[in-house]
Structure formats: structure tokens, C-alpha cells
Chains A and B, each alone.
Chain A
Amino acid sequence: MTVLAGIGFTAPWVLLGLLTLPILWLILRAVPPAPIRRLFPAVTLLLGLKDDESVSDRTPWWLLLLRMLAAAAIIIGLAGPVLNPSRDQTGTGPLLLVLDASWAGASRWGNVLDQIDAQLTEAGRAGRPVSILRLSEPEAPVFQAAEAWRGRLPGLTPQAWQPTEAQVAQSVQALTQVEGGFDTHWFSDRLDYPGHDQMLAMLQARGDVTVYRAASAVTALLPASYQDGVIQLTAVRAAPGPAADITVLAQGRDPAGTMRVLQSVDMQFESGETLAQIELALPSELRARITRFEIQGQRSAGAITLTDDSLRRREVALIAGTLNREGLELLSPLHYLTQVLSPTADFVDGGLLDVLPANPDVIVLADVATLAETEEAALVEWVEQGGLLLRFAGPRMAASDLGRDEEDILLPVRLRSGGRSVGGAMSWGEAKGLAPFPDSSPFFGLRIPADVNVTTQVMAQPDPDLADRVIASLSDGTPLVTRKALGLGQVVLFHVTADAEWSSLPLSGLFVEMLDRLAVASAAKSRQQEQLQGTTWEPIQILDGFGTLSDAGSLPGVDGAQLIGGEIGPDLRPGLYESGKEKLALNVLSEDAVLTPVVWPADVPIRGQEVSTETPIGGLLLSLALVLLTIDVLASLALSGRLGMARTAAVVLGALLIAPDARAQAPEDTDFALNATHELVLAHVLTGNREVDDIALAGMRGLAQTLYFRTSVEPAEPIGVDLERDELAFFPLLYWPITPDQPQPSVEAYAKLNTYLRSGGMILFDTRDADIAEFGASSPNGRKLQQLAAPLNIPSLEPVPNDHVLTRAFYLLQDFPGRYAGSGVWVESAPLDAEQIEGMPFRNLNDNVTPVVIGGNDWAGAWAVDRNGQALLPVGRGYAGERQRELANRFGVNLVMHVLTGNYKSDQVHVPALLDRLGQ
């Protein structure tokens, strides 16, 4: 590359072309502009007129200069000029680019890619083979031409974990396979990880190592915890430095379901500190909505911490059968439940029907036997939509007939009457303890204290599916807790009371744990490893290196114990996991994570990641030449007086240059509205059948002409209307020809049509078959009409009565022929109370315009004319046919008059004139 005056040229010899410019100047100067030919009838008056000067207009100097500049710009542009040519060409031989590619570098990943791109360009120019190795996702390095890598650059993405020890080892192993030496450029994310030194030593042994690293230190967010009603947020940074402010955003769904920032809080790293903490107190409603915290302006998985159920307090509605016993709070059946749940759950108070609209997570019914029918229905609906109904037995339930003969829908099992009591003063047996939980039970793994015993319980009827529904039983095998699924939710029955009257279960810690497992209580405290022992968690959504959640796809489930203690890596990806109804968020950093900055030995050169990019300006110059030539064209046209015809072209060109993206959508809509409203416009529905549409349009045109010549209605050129796209409100009348194969309009189109009909529009349906085959409504067109009209809001219909206003809106008509004169025409039926007054020729009918007119006489065919006003289709034979066409035209006139004037002609004022004309 030759560098002239700070600008490099890839092809400097092309610049010699500049020498031809003076010659070009002379040639262009000598050629005058070409003449224009014009038609001009008054040329006879010009004959003999001489020009004052014999010299034609010469090309002016500024136009020549413009053209010279354009030519010069082309020549220089083709010489390949480059701004900021990079001159640090170092090294030869293969080049290895090592990338940490972890979340820590994700925020500045664009810089990294730019730098890699620049290096690939340079290596490509120097002809060095290149390989790229990502330590967080190692593959065996392959040295290829730099250009081959450039296409793969967008596919290089950071991972949501640091390179694990195994991965580093794998990389080292792969590199030892490579033969020969190579130089290394290491793009570091500034964080240390196990195996880092080993890797460096390995690379230094093979060639020079240069480190590129970002300027600023890494900041990350530790998982949020919830304690004593406040959320604890902790941010860490890799190296202590000067005081720095960061903003943390709490994001979640608003009540409408859209993600938005619910709260933003400022945190400060003190000077020299690596930790920053803040406490955040939020209303529980808001807190429950938060799905993630993130550091504003950082785009990496480490700057994000996901929240799970742990921030959420469950809403529980407690309802007991006997709440009206004053003063007996310790005997209240809900006392123990309140004690257990109050630290972790919010209570919803009120009667059953009052709390259901609040949609609590859990409804507890303590010893409630009978429910009103409406209550039961509402409760069933709520459960089926995912609610958890927790019922406790009690004396009332035992005494009632609930679930006796057949299974109650809100009970998991049928119950025997009376229940049983054991271990009391009047009974033989001992009080029963609990049997170990089977491994299919949600309680599996809980330790059973020895002092829990049950003295009274309600008994389940032995039904075939009883065994599946038992999730806890007594030592003698009788069910203690049963459960059944109902819709998306479930119903759980404790066969004992919620207080200590029937058993000591509510007094024990096991009760708390059982409720916890049933997800009645939430897991506000962080889960312990042994708590999750034996559970399998399925990933739902995982984080990528940039902190974006994506669908987990078919990733395998993870063991619960590993989820707490395991190292984040390709096998344990951060994200959201689910087991049963519980959710757990696994974040990139654990609660006690520390960021360790990497320390490089003194002999490793370190560079920043800032790039000074080369800018090729050839394209810019060539565009400049194009612009200059465009101006030249316009100027030449202006000089030779041809700008008039070139004006349109110039406007178009200007529009193209200035606003290439401007969409013409809005003007189109406005054009349509203007066309449809500047005059009265008749419209027909586009059926998609070209032939039918053409005839319909021609028919509307013919009707418009008839109206124009005979009446004061002067419609403009008709329009075909696309039901899906176009606004209908502009048209008083829509002609809708029926074809058997036209598509059914969409739901939105039907909504538009119904609005149109409601607001006074009229649709003329025409099956165009005149019912010749006498199929009635079962002809193909008739069936299609039924399909099309079914979603429309059409009133009851009747054949046009003799005194309908259509028969006298403009002309007096008895029948309504089109191309055919066969079938009847149907309109909205008259109100039942319409009565004929003695001596009047017609009834006082409804005041509305009929919203639909349905017939099959192919009116458009009879109306259709071409542009010259000649009828397109034959009607009947000879004079009788022309008479029929005339009647069809009269029907059209009457129809339009009816639409436009309503029932004006129904007014009694016209009676004398009409009687006179009717000859009565």
C-alpha cells in the first residue's frame, strides 16, 4: 500500500488517469448540447426568423468544472484510497487468536469482534493462516485463511460461564497436537480461572503472546436474597478502584403482562472496595412480580441475577367452617396454619366468593363440609385453572354426607361415614404413627418425628384408584393425606383436623415441611443441599453470555444436589429450572462468589481493545461522483430547456436519494379515502375471480352512468373493495357477487362488515345464478352465500312485498330483473305491527334502509357497460331484452335512491301523486 499525504492507495497507478483531465476539458468544451425536437403547429409563424447570433449556447465553465470534478472523483475512487492505513504489520507465520469468551467480556463483545476483524484483515493481507480458539467452548484449532474466519465472526458468542478447568485442560491438549510454532493474540476478559497460568506457559512456549484486554474492570451482580421483608442486593467488581456508581434495575411483568422496569436503585462502590450492597424494600405485590435484577448498561450474564419463587410470597386464603366462636382463638381450627404460614405467606381474608376473584395461590378449607352450589362451581373453576385446594377434615366433615356415595369433585376420595378414633379412652388400639413416605410421594425424604400420632381421622372408602391418590399414610396403612389432580390444579385432603384435636401433626416441624413440599408455604429461605436431595430439576430457560434468556430446548434435567453446589459450565447452565410446581433460578455467580482479576507476567505485552479502524473512502468518492453526475444531468437539462419533462424524473430521483426507506403506505390509504369520498362512489366486493370482478366493476360503472344521466346523483368512477384491507365506511352501497370459490373473509373483515351494516350501509348480495336449476338455497352459489353471510348480523328477511319502498323510490317497479328475471328478491322483513290503513296503497313500514338485499338476477351483468357506454353482455332477445335491461337499470336507480334517501318515498305526502300515477 502506497501512502500519500496520510491516505493510503491500494492501486496508486490509477492516479495517472488524472493526467487525462485537461484533454477531457478541451473535448467537452468543443461539443455543444444537442437540439430538442418539438412538435409545434405554429411553426408557420416561425419560418424565416433568424437567430441573432450564429453561435449556439456553449457549455458553461461551471458545468465543465462539475464534470471534471466527477471524473477526478471516479479516478481517485478507483485508486482505492484508505483513511487511517494501519502500519503496524508485525510477525509472520500462523496466528492463534485465543478468546476467553466468557460472560465477563460480553459487555464489550462488539469491541472484541471489531478487533478480531481488524486483525483478520491484517493477517489476510500478510497471508498468515489464522485459528480462533474459544476457551469457554474449546474445539481443536484449525489454521485457515483469514477470510474463511471472517464469515464465522458473527457466530462467535461469549458463553455464560468462565472456562472450566476441564475445558482449559482440553484446550491445552488440543494445542499440543498442533505442529510448528505460532504467535498468539489473547483476548482476555480480565478474570482469572483455574488453569490460566498453565495455558499461558503452553502458549509462550510456542511463540509470542500478546494480550488484548478491555479497559475497565468487570462488575457483576450476586443473587438477590430476601430477608426480614427486604431484598438484599450485592454487586461485586474484580478490582478495587475509585468510587463508582452503578444502577440496578428490577425488571418484571406489569399487570398487563409486558416486561418493564419496576424499580431502579443506585448503588455505590466505595473507593477501594470490591463489594457494594443495598437493601430494597418493596410492596409484596411488586416484589412478587420481579423476575430479574440487572446492572444498567451492562450486557452480560454476570450482570444479571434471576429471581425465582424465593422473592414471592404466596397468597393463601384460610376459610374455616366455624369462625364465629368468639374468644376461642387457640381453639380456632386455623390457629396452627396461621402460625405456620404467617412468616412466608400473605393471607387473603374474606368469604369464599370474595377471595376467589383475588385468585390466591392456595385456598385452605378447614373442616368445611358443604358448599353452596355457586361456591362449589366457582371453586372448581378456580382449581381447574391451577389453584391448590387444601382441605382438612374435622367433626363437621365426619358428620356430613359429603363424598359418601359418590366421589365429591372437591374431595380426592370417597369418605366413610363417621370416621374412626384410635388410642382414646374408649377404644382398643394405640394412637397411630406415620408410615415412611413412599418415593412417589412429594413428601419423600422428609424425616418423620417419632412423637407424631393420630388419634382420630376420617376414613377413605377403598376405591380402585385410592392407592394412587394416597401421598401419606398411617403406620397401619390407612390414608392420612390424599391428593387428586383436577384440571391444572389439585385438591389435597388431610384426613385430620388442622388443629391439635385429632392428631399432634400440626404441632410438629413435619407439618411445616409437608406444607412446604406441597408449595403451600414458599421457600423464602435459600434451599439447602440436602433439601433438594433426590429431586430432578428440568431447565426451562437458560441464560446466554449476554444475559438473554432463551428456551432451554431439549437440555437434560439436573440433579437437585448438583444445582446447589455444582460449578457453572456447559453441563450446568445458568437459567431457570423447574421441578413440579416449584421454580429455582440458577445464577452465574453464587452468593459468596469473588471475582479475581488475572495477573499477567511482566514479559507479556498488553494492549487495549480499542481499534483505530481503516476506512476505505473509495466508495464515498464514487458516490460523490454519482451525485455530481446527477447534478450535471439536471443542469444540462435545465440549460437546454428540457427540465420541464425532466422535472418528474428529478423529483423521483430526489425522493430516492433523500428518503429511500419512505414507505408510501400512508399516502396510499389517504388516496383511497380521497378517491372514495370526493364524490359519491359505488363499490363492489372483490371476489378474487377476475371475470366476475371485471363485470361487477363494469356494472357499477353502468349504474353510475345511468344515475348520472337520469338523476341528480352523479357518482364518480366505481371502486373494487378488498374486505380485508379497505375501509368500508365510505360507501353507501356494496355490491357483492357470489362465486363458489371466493375466500371466506377474516374475523376482522366480518367485524368491519357488521359495523358497516349497523351504521347504515347496504350490501346487495347477488348469487348470479337466478336459481335457474331451482336448487333453491342449495345451489353452489346459494350455499356459498349462506357460508359467507352466516357471521353477518342480518335481520330476518322476506321477499320484497308489493308495497316496499324499493318499488317506488324513483321509478314504479313491480319486479326487479337483472340479466335474468327469475328468482325472488329478499329484503329485511317489515315489522309485525305494520298495518295497512284503509284507502292507502301501502303500509307505513319500517323507517330503516334494509341492510341487505339478496337475489340472484345478476344485476351487474345487466348494468355492465364498457368505457364507451356500450352494454357488455346481452340481455334476453331483441326489444324485450332491452326492455329488461331498462328495468334492471331502473331497479339500480331505485336501489341507490333507497340507500340515499331512506324511506323518503314512504312518506304519506307522496300518496296523492303516487295514486295518480298508479291510476287509482
Chain B
Amino acid sequence: MNAALTLRERSEAEASRLPPLLARAEHLAGTVLLGDHGRRRAGLGDDFWQYRPAQIGDSRRLIDHRRSARGDQQFVREREWQIAQSVMLWIDQGASMRFASEKTLATKADRARLLGLSTAILLVRGGERVGLTGTTLPPRRGNAQIVRLAQAWSEDSDADYSPPEHRAMIPHARAVFISDFLGPMDEVELALTKAADRGVRGVLLQVLDPSEESFPYRGRTIFESVGGTTRHETLKAGDLRDRYLDRLARRKDALTYLCRATGWQLGLHHTVESPQSALLWLYRALDGGTQ
């Protein structure tokens, strides 16, 4: 009884945290207007496409009698081919994402979730099926899926750098990975090659804090990861700047190379920038693939 009550209470509290993210994501998604995008060819779907004369091999049930009764010929009513694409999202829930160098900035995790959820809303409105990579939340359509996604992303992971989830990817689906990609590279490599093997293509969006790009530190400093597992002490932080920037550039190069090899697209977003431009880029990147 008690456990159930507290669970209820906690879930209410958790649920009350969802709406702001949802509302912001809805608001952001509202800035990108969608049309229904049919496939512009006859196929399975709900909308009328054309009448064509019945041919041999057409089932009698397919004959549209209302149209056929106007003349002698028999017509078949064709519907537009509408097919739902499955899009799988993965957003880094690791501790390294929960970082913002200034109070006025959003954390990387917050920005990543906002972008992920907005993308999901756009996709659902477009009639696609959206889900998470892995087995927890397979792709489904409908608004309820948005709420499930938001709920899934409201849980933080304790690990410092969580590896991309690459299990249970549906062949020939599309995928969106949002992370800072500061963790071990071999995991990313593994995930992408596995995806490429299954014909899954998609988008990598790297979200970085401005301080990670500029490294504005000086003096004797101990750098700690957000989870506290890794640390590095230096006596003169200012001297490390050039070498750090060099390593960061190499990391980005490695990602670019990986994407080129697997046919994915790579985007970079800083938390100082407007989320809208990133969302537009994401949407274009996905849409460009589906055409």
C-alpha cells in the first residue's frame, strides 16, 4: 500500500516534470511546418490516388463500383502509397551531458533531449514511427509515443560516458544519435558499423558546450569528469589549450571519417546557439534521406 502510494507520488512528480519539456518541444516543433508527404505513387494508404482500368489479376473486390457504374469499363480505385518509416533515436543519458559552463546556458543533456523530442514530434506528425534504439521502446506511431519518449529521457544514467545503444536495430530503418561523443570512440565505431551492416542510415548530432570548444582555463587546475570517475591535474592549464584543441579537432575528424564510411551525416551543435537551427538541420537531414 505504502510502496504503491509513494510510487504513485513519485511518478506524479516525475510526470509533472514532463510537460515543460513537452511544451517546449511542441513549441519548437511548431516552428517547422509539415505537409503530409505521400510517396507520390500508388500503393497502400488511405488517400485517393487515381482510378485505373481493371486489369487481369485484379481482385473483384478491388473494383470501384461507383466509378465503374458510370460507364462500361471497370475501374479500380488506387490509393496513394503511404508507408511509415521507422526512426530510432538514441540520446546520450550519460553524466558528461549534464554540464553547462555557465548558469545561463542549458546543459547539453537538456538541449539534446529538447532536440530529440522535437524531432520525434515532427516525425510523428509526419506519420512516421518513432522509438528508441534497443529493446526498451520499439518504434510506434501516435502521440502517446511522444509521452513515452519524454518519460524515457527523463531518467539520468550514472555512468560518465554511456556508449551508443546499437542492439535491436530494425534493418533499413533510420536512426538519430545525439551525444557529445567525448567517450570512447570504439563504441561509436562499433555502433555505426553495425548499423551500416543492417542498412540503417542516419544522423549523428554532436552537442558541445562552448567551453569545450574554447578551453578558457588557466592556472593550477584539477579537471574532473561530471561523474567524478576521471580526473586530470595540471599546473598550468593555459599551456594545455593548444594541445587540447588539437585533440578535439582530431576527434571531430574521426567522427567525420566514420560517417563518411558508413553513409551517415554528422552535425555539430553548441549550446549557445538557438535550438531551432539545429532542429531544422536535423529535420532536413532526415527528410533528405527519406525522399
Contacts and interface: CB of A to CB of B under 8 A. Distances in A.
Contact of A53 (B220, B236, B248): B236
B237 A868 contact: no
Contacts of B223: 38, 40, 43, 46
Contact of B221 (A53, A641, A869): A641
Interface in B226-278: 226, 230-240, 243-244, 247-248, 251
B182 interface: yes
B234 A49 contact: yes
A385 to B, nearest CB: 67
A639 interface: yes
A35 interface: yes
Given A46-B232, A868-B19, A35 B220 contact: yes
Given A42-B212, A45-B247, A36 B225 contact: no
A44 B239 CA distance: 17
A43 B230 contact: yes
A496 to B, nearest CB: 95
Interface in B87-106: 96-97, 99
A38 to B, nearest CB: 6
A289 B239 CA distance: 82
Contact of A36 (B184, B211, B221, B248): B221
A867 B99 CA distance: 23
B218 A43 contact: no
A869 B15 CA distance: 12
B226 A35 contact: no
B128 interface: no
Contacts of B234: 46, 49, 51
B78 interface: no
Interface residues of B, number: 43
Contact of B182 (A34, A37, A42, A51): A42
Interface string B196-210: 000000000000010
Contact of B183 (A32, A34, A44, A870): A44
A666 interface: no
A55 B239 CA distance: 13
Contacts of B230: 43-44, 47
Given A41-B212, A41-B226, A45-B247, A35 B236 contact: no
Interface in A13-48: 32-47
A867 to B, nearest CB: 8
Instruction: Give the residue among A37, A44, A55, A640 with the most B Cβ atoms within 10 A.
Output: A44
A642 interface: yes
B240 A49 contact: yes
Contacts of A870: 16, 19
Query: Do most interface residues of chain B lie in helix, strand or loop, or is the interface mixed?
Result: mixed
Contact of A51 (B96, B161, B212, B236): B236
A37 B225 CA distance: 10
Instruction: Give the residue among A36, A43, A870 with the most B Cβ atoms within 10 A.
Output: A43
Contacts of B20: 867-869
B222 interface: yes
Contacts of B96: 41
A43 to B, nearest CB: 5
A34 B219 CA distance: 10
Instruction: Give the residue among B23, B180, B232 with the most A Cβ atoms within 10 A.
Output: B232
A802 B248 CA distance: 69
A43 B231 contact: yes
Contact of B248 (A39, A45, A639, A869): A45
Nearest to B218: A641
Interface size class of A (residues with CB under 8 A): 20 to 34
A590 to B, nearest CB: 78
B17 interface: yes
A34 B220 contact: yes
Given A45-B182, A641-B219, A869-B20, A51 B226 contact: no
Given A35-B233, A39-B99, A869-B20, A46 B240 contact: yes
A35 B224 CA distance: 12
Instruction: Give the residue among A33, A36, A53 with the most B Cβ atoms within 10 A.
Output: A36
B217 interface: yes
A56 interface: yes
A32 B182 contact: no
Contact of A41 (B222, B225, B232): B225
Interface string A626-657: 00000000000001111000000000000000
Interface string B110-142: 000000000000000000000000000000000
B190 to A, nearest CB: 17
Nearest to B236: A51
B240 A35 contact: no
A52 interface: yes
A41 to B, nearest CB: 4
Instruction: Give the residue among A41, A49, A56 with the most B Cβ atoms within 10 A.
Output: A41
Contacts of A52: 236, 239
Nearest to A55: B235
A488 B239 CA distance: 92
Contacts of A51: 234-236, 239-240
A121 B17 CA distance: 71
Contacts of B183: 44
Given A40-B224, A41-B212, A869-B19, A49 B232 contact: yes
A32 B209 CA distance: 31
Contacts of B17: 868
A113 B180 CA distance: 76
Given A41-B225, A51-B239, A36 B232 contact: no
Contacts of A639: 219
A56 B219 CA distance: 9
Given A41-B96, A42-B182, A870-B16, A640 B247 contact: no
A39 to B, nearest CB: 5
A326 interface: no
Contact of B226 (A33, A39, A57, A640): A39
Given A37-B222, A56-B220, A868-B19, A45 B251 contact: yes
Contacts of A36: 219-222
Interface string A788-805: 000000000000000000
Given A41-B96, A56-B236, 18 more contacts: A34-B220, A36-B222, A38-B221, A41-B180, A42-B180, A42-B182, A42-B212, A43-B225, A43-B231, A47-B230, A49-B234, A51-B235, A51-B239, A53-B235, A55-B235, A56-B220, A56-B235, A870-B16
Interface of A: 32-47, 49, 51-57, 639-642, 867-870
Task: State the 9 A-B residue pairs at the shortest beta-carbon distance, nearest first.
Answer: A641-B219, A641-B218, A41-B96, A56-B235, A35-B220, A640-B219, A40-B223, A45-B247, A43-B223
15 contacts: A33-B219, A34-B220, A36-B221, A39-B99, A39-B226, A40-B212, A40-B225, A46-B234, A49-B244, A51-B239, A57-B235, A639-B219, A641-B217, A641-B218, A641-B237
